[in-house]
Amino acid sequence: MSNSYPFGFLDEYAKKEIRRTTLKAVALPGYQVPYSSREMPMGRGFGTGGLQLTLSLLGKEETLKVIDQGSDDSVNAVNLRSFIEMTCKGINTTTKTHEADIIQSRHRIPEKPLREDQLIVLQVPYPDPLVVVEPSEDKRKTLHGEADYSRLLVKLYEDIVKFNEITISHRYPTRINDHYVIDPSPIPRWDVPKINQSKALILFGAGREKKIYAVPPYTKAEPLAFEDVPFRVEDFTDENSQRRACKRCGCTNSFLDEFIDSNKGEKVYQCSDADWCDEQGGSNITEDRTPEVTNESLENSNKAGGLAHG
């Protein structure tokens, strides 16, 4: 059955359009370029935007890595990978960050710094950061054009008034190249600084919302904040002011997932990036990785905890 699909599933015209859109997105850092998102054999909102980008950009003999919240083995990543393997004959897949030419990711940027010859595709559910403050797309386009993000900053202001701190845990609005503010997809705050002056090209695909945008290599990416209330990433220190370590590899400088050990009933922490964890020595430990937290539970913990853990 798979032989009947053209390489990359999409027809050549579709791929051409997506590549041209991508070029435009690269030329206008942070600008959301509309494109005619194609129907994919999966529901919109399940990563179709990222998938279309990957299918259009991937070439024979290139190596692909697909991750879902840091893990190569969770449902979304596994299914996308096997779909791409089926429709792109001749490509290689890997779980190793440094081996990949293209990394398609849902909600994480790998811990290992990316290189200039690599490219990361992020799946985006809501491309426009202004959607929370302005329902009309027409008016949003004007606000973007004039770089008027005062209403987003008012949201941050209100957060500080209420909670003494900016409480956005993921999708942190980030200003690209001193003009457009993007929704960097639901990556945790931890990953936002990685966008700044990234060596690798970062592409964002929103299939349902039909938008593609990009942060080109070596581009300034600045999370919105106040002069005297600067942006900060998640703080993983415990009650004793000790940085929590991954219980599997012992790493103390990675983004940690928190979950409950079902046998002991206590909180445990583990690297969110599975490949990173293995590389830090996690693979030598006989104990398997605790099954990845589901998206729901993570989102809940984000809502409930926010930056609270630590």
Contact call for residue 138 and other proteins (CB under 8 A): no
User: Which three-class secondary structure state does DSSP give residue 258?
Assistant: strand
- Residue from 8, 249, 251, 282 carrying the catalytic annotation: 249
CB atoms within 10 A of CB 287: 8
* Subset of 223-242 contacting other proteins (CB under 8 A): 226-229
Q: Is 271 a catalytic residue?
A: yes
Do residues 65 and 96 touch, judged by C-beta distance below 8 A?
yes
* 249 part of the active site: yes
**Cα separation of 166 and 78, whole Å?**
34
Q: Which two tokens stand for residue 249?
A: 């590899």
Instruction: Tell me the number of residues near other proteins by CB under 8 A.
Output: 17
| The residue count for the chain | 310
Strands of the sheet containing 181-182, edge to edge, are 181-182, 174-176, 221-223
Does 132 interact with other proteins (rule: CB under 8 A)? no
**Closest by Cα among 237, 222, 231 to 149:** 222
CB 211 within 8 A of CB 137: no
Residue range at the interface with other proteins (CB under 8 A); choices 59-67, 72-80, 97-105, 140-148? 140-148
Select 162 or 264, whichever has its Cβ closest to other proteins: 162
Give the nearest distance from C-beta 224 to other proteins in angstroms: 9
Is residue 5 within the footprint of other proteins (CB under 8 A)? no
* Of the candidate residues 11, 12, 116, 158, the single one contacting other proteins (CB under 8 A): 158
**Residues acting as catalytic residues:** 30, 246, 249, 271, 277
Binding site for other proteins (CB under 8 A): 142, 145-146, 148, 150-151, 153-154, 157-158, 160-162, 226-229
